[in-house]
Chain A
Amino acid sequence: MNDITIQLSQHARAEIEHWLKKYPPNRKRSAVLAALREVQHENQGYLTTELMDAVADYLGMPKIAVYEVASFYSMLETKPVGRHSISICTNISCMLRGADDIVSHLERKLGIKTGESTSDGKFYLKQEEECLAACCGGPMLMVDHVYHENLTNARVDEILDKLD
């Protein structure tokens, strides 16, 4: 059975084409990460089923293969989330340097739990499971793809308060 499918934006298609050039013609699926990142970017930071389906069609992949990728990578979201995405590393090095306290501070400050967004849609406190590869600067967090290291509660407040 076929449901209605949507079209990717002109810009998204251009961007995907740019990435497709880097791979052999019969390896179109190699561009899936780039494609998902782009359409997510155009859609307020999250992917809808329709968008994932459109990417699958565009790249000639089974839809399920795109869903798998989207559910695997932590930088891809499949639900609406807050504007600013905050990921705190709680992996071993950061944990030893007090990451858990930072998490509690953040949860208190924003009034949400990890995995949730604030009701005003401003912040998204992401569930981060793996090391973000900045171990020597732990505890660390990442806000909208920017790394901040050697955190203290005060430093966290400073970072967040600067955001609009």
Chain B
Amino acid sequence: MAARPEQFTAPMIQLTFNGTTMEARPGETILECAKRHGIAIPHLCYKPGYRADGNCRVCMVEIDGERVLAPSCSRTPSVGMKVHSDNPRAVKAQKLILELLKSDMPGQGGSPHSPVSELDHWAAKLGVGKPRFPQRQQPQSDLSNPAIAVNLDACIQCTRCVRACREEQVNDVIGYAYRGKHAKIVFDLDDAMGSSTCVSCGECVQACPTGALMPARLAAKVLPDRQVASVCPYCGVGCQINYNLKDNRIIFVNGRDGPANQSRLCVKGRYGFDYVYHPDRLTNPWVRKSGMAKTERLLSSSELTQYFRPATWDEALDVAAGKLNQIRDDHGPKALAGFGSAKGSNEEAYLFQKLVRTGFGTNNVDHCTRLCHASSVAALLETIGSGAVSNPVVDVAEAEVIIVIGSRACENHPVAATFMKNAAKAGKILIVIDPYRSDLARHARYFLQFRPDTDVPMLNSLMHTIVKENLQNDTYIEKHTEGYAALKQTVAKYSPEKVAPICGISAETLKEVARVYARSRASIIFWGMGISQHIHGTDNARCLISLALLTGQIGRPGTGLHPLRGQNNVQGASDVGLIPMFYPNYQSVSDPQIRDKFAVLWQAPNLDAARGLTVVEIIHAIHDGVIKGMYIMGENPAMSDPNLNHARAALAKLEHLVVQDIFFTETAGYADVILPASAFPEKTGTFTNTDRLVQLGRQAIEPPGDARQDLWIILEMAKRIGLNWNYPEVKDIFNEIRQATPSMSGMTWERLEQEHSLTMPLLKEGDPGERVIFTDGFPTKTRRGKFVPADYIAADELPDAEYPYVFTTGRQLEHWHTGSMTRRSEVLNAIEPDPVASFNPLDLAKLEARPGDTIQIQSKRGAIKAIARADTGVQPGVVFMAFCYHEAAANLITNEAMDPFGKIPEYKYCAVKISAVT
């Protein structure tokens, strides 16, 4: 639970508790105070961190001078109060309640569903035996949700699940319905959980004290014998988790109280861990059989043994590295390239880029950051000198106005979204700006469903209003910025009246939003890939940055800029240099002074002076015959790159491809050597979340068969490429990162082990780290933030008579990126098993198609078939699809046209035609 600041200022309250004096902190309840002093008062409906509801009455205490007993979970003490939790009257009440509740249990005994029922715990502790009351009529169990078993026969109606679902996660699915003895916990309209709007976050399961809600498939009464504190392997929110193991097998995951998640998790984090046990895991190295030529055709996982033969590690590594060496020696370093991964740790990313730079001798190293926030980072570096977010997500609690633009946070950053929803519920003004109406819009005071592609004119019109109405922050502009005159000139052209018909939002609304944003005490902007994945992605981000600079809405708690990072370690991988133009800490490869510094640190005198190629450029360079060999670790460009036919043809054309992964991915099908690697829980390393929290992921299990840890593989490859490295332990690599990355220099491994997470920048050992940055100017040469005005340019490929629809891609809540992990997770795949595309119902009607029908989607580059889903959140004329389905890969459709600055492809916009498949 978050500390309440008043606790540290207001005086303590003296009370007498069971005869001894005790001090309560201001705001603390009797129950919390007792607990803090090691005294246990029975409680069931109270859960730390949740609003106390005071409904179960098992926590009753007697207070001298009061006629009736008081629920200690909902009562704050006053000075001199005399409280008894252990006198006969209090204990009698507590026991009676426990007995009544127990009489509701199946067989009036212990919970059959949970080995750690809190009711059983308290009943045993207070010696409550067989109840004297008749049993209630018991409800049926509901096993319709693949993730969660509902057995309301053990429900005590404490409503912890209601608060979990409604007040913590704000998914608003669970209700307490009906009345009298019919009162019960329901999902929506008393629907089966599996067909309700439940998003399977499992917060209710984590909250349930009796096992009435439990993970499905978890054999009841299995107790873990070991717990490993780690981090979620999926998104950039960076939720802290515990792996709960029994006999060295992960049996379930629960949320840990980390700074970014406060014990909350989403469906992926909680239920998506079982991919590690999938039979498709690679357990030995594979080498392409001689004579099995590569073609553009995608191989399916069943074709592995037809095209590849098992090999020993020695042979596989020799072939893998040997051929790369040969290409380097024959054609020069520029004939090689490497893709690292934002799923790997900082240590892996660091070593991988070091291997490419010092072993291959080129800066051709990149990863999927290019495909997500490259344009945001380009804009941030250009304007304010740092790609980092200014404030953590949980800062929404201190904001007054929250803008979320181009982000479906409920799907893509689910736990971050819960904090935004909490803030909206607490009365903060949430402004959602997105062409798609997601669930977040329901909580928004203003929802601007603008036309796709019109971000720049729309944002310019907000700035136009601010300038015109003199709402800009002159002091801030004067002190901390440059280039205001140019911005003013540009935005002058974009009056709301002129822009309204372009973006589809009324001039009045645009003006109102501009005023609300500018005038508030603290406004914060979050953005996602809806901003970045356009050919004008950098321009979009520039506008957002200008908006903040113009109003001085940055550099204080609750106000700033936060591009929501996608991958669990995309921030870290970029920080440690897994990008072609920068060494660690965004230090330019073309700056000779910096190069010299790294030449010394890495003992590599001949570092390449030219910036390397980016993801899409590398694909082009393969087609051009320039790049001939690649080392790909944990990335899946055969699914993730735009215009896949083109990308797959390139991969097939490579003379030599080494793929290091945990599955036979689509990309591995084009490999010459496949190296079986480790999954997230099989290794230890640090991961940097979207808030700049560097967090420790700890090894919980061993890799299967002869699969090896990624660091071991990189080191073996390095050895064979001629690098003489010596890193006995992960922490040795971390310590080198500290030297290479000044913003992490004050972090120590020991402190990470103790505190689990540290905030970057952290310059000096012992510092707390900086939660909020840019508090006094920016890390640019002039210390000022620069306005870079942007004009409206249209998408690269606009709809026309032949291709009249706009196609846009993204993710789904249940599936991660290319689906290689989540589609191999039983629960996640059971919830979303088939490739679906979302259409506005009007468009489906036009096709005379119904939800569930198969629809063909075709662009100039490719065609796929997907199952139609009706969604009024999608605007008419737009088709949305996630890119995780190999059988209907959305990226066969997408356009590889790039933003000129960030080199990010335009995933969010291309033209398609659609037809019903009969």
A interface vs B, CB < 8 Å? 1-5, 26, 49, 62-65, 67-68, 71-72, 74, 78, 129-130
Contacts and interface: CB of A to CB of B under 8 A. Distances in A.
Contacts of B442: 62
A158 B800 CA distance: 73
Contacts of A62: 166, 172, 442
B189 A49 contact: yes
A21 to B, nearest CB: 21
Contact of A5 (B166, B427, B872): B872
B175 A64 contact: yes
B18 to A, nearest CB: 39
Judged by DSSP, the binding face of B is loop
Contacts of A78: 189
B296 to A, nearest CB: 36
B716 interface: no
Contacts of A65: 172, 175
A72 B871 contact: no
Contacts of B841: 4
B464 interface: no
Nearest to B842: A4
A72 B873 contact: no
Contacts of B178: 71-72
A2 B871 CA distance: 5
Contacts of A71: 175, 177-179, 186, 190
A63 B188 contact: yes
17 contacts: A1-B871, A2-B871, A3-B870, A49-B189, A62-B166, A62-B172, A62-B442, A63-B172, A64-B166, A64-B172, A64-B175, A65-B175, A71-B175, A71-B190, A74-B179, A78-B189, A129-B180
Return the 7 tightest CB-CB contacts between A and B, nearest first: A62-B172, A71-B177, A2-B873, A2-B872, A64-B175, A68-B175, A64-B172
A123 to B, nearest CB: 23
Contact of B437 (A2, A3, A72): A2
Given A64-B172, A67-B175, A67-B177, 4 more contacts: A64-B175, A67-B186, A71-B178, A78-B189
Contacts of A67: 175, 177, 186, 188-189
Contacts, number: 51
B438 to A, nearest CB: 9
A45 to B, nearest CB: 18
B394 to A, nearest CB: 23
Interface string B403-438: 000000000000000000000000100000000010
B878 to A, nearest CB: 13
Contacts of B166: 62, 64
B308 to A, nearest CB: 41
B173 interface: yes
Interface string B170-204: 00111111111000001011100000010000000
A72 B872 contact: no
Nearest to B438: A2
A72 B177 contact: yes
B370 interface: no
Contacts of A68: 175-177
B869 interface: yes
Contacts of A1: 197, 869, 871, 873
Contacts of B870: 3-4
A15 to B, nearest CB: 24
Contacts of B186: 67, 71
Most buried by A among B186, B189, B437, B869: B189
Contacts of A4: 841, 870, 872
Most buried by B among A5, A64, A74: A64
A83 to B, nearest CB: 24
Interface string B200-237: 00000000000000000000000000000000000000
B444 to A, nearest CB: 10
A101 to B, nearest CB: 23
Contacts of B175: 64-65, 67-68, 71
Nearest to A64: B175
A53 to B, nearest CB: 10
Nearest to A61: B172
A1 B873 CA distance: 7
A68 B175 CA distance: 6
Contacts of A74: 179
Nearest to A60: B442
Contacts of B427: 26
B179 A129 contact: yes
Interface in B142-191: 166, 172-180, 186, 188-190
A27 to B, nearest CB: 12
Contacts of A3: 870, 872
Interface string B664-705: 000000000000000000000000000000000000000000
Contacts of B176: 68
Contacts of B869: 1
Contacts of B188: 63-64, 67
Nearest to A68: B175
Contacts of B189: 49, 67, 78
A64 to B, nearest CB: 4
Contacts of A72: 177-179
Contacts of B173: 64
Interface string B859-871: 0000000000111
A3 B873 CA distance: 8
Interface in B560-579: none
Contacts of A63: 172, 188
Most buried by B among A65, A67, A78: A67
A152 B259 CA distance: 68
A161 to B, nearest CB: 32
A78 B176 CA distance: 16
Nearest to A49: B189
Contacts of A26: 427
A71 B187 CA distance: 13
A68 B190 CA distance: 10
A4 B186 CA distance: 23
A129 B166 CA distance: 29
A2 B173 CA distance: 14
A71 B174 CA distance: 13
A158 B237 CA distance: 69
Nearest to A52: B189
A103 B625 CA distance: 90
A62 B187 CA distance: 13
A64 B174 contact: yes
Nearest to A130: B180
A146 B250 CA distance: 63
Most buried by B among A2, A63, A67, A130: A2
A65 B176 CA distance: 9
Contacts of A49: 189
Nearest to A66: B175
A132 to B, nearest CB: 15
A67 B187 CA distance: 10
A62 B439 CA distance: 11
A1 B174 CA distance: 17
B436 to A, nearest CB: 10
A5 B871 CA distance: 11
A60 B149 CA distance: 31
A4 B842 CA distance: 10
Interface in B715-740: none
B212 to A, nearest CB: 18
Contacts of B177: 67-68, 71-72
Interface in B870-884: 870-873
Contacts of A130: 180
A43 B176 CA distance: 25
B440 to A, nearest CB: 12
A81 to B, nearest CB: 17
A80 to B, nearest CB: 15
Contacts of A64: 166, 172-175, 188
A65 to B, nearest CB: 7
A100 B508 CA distance: 63
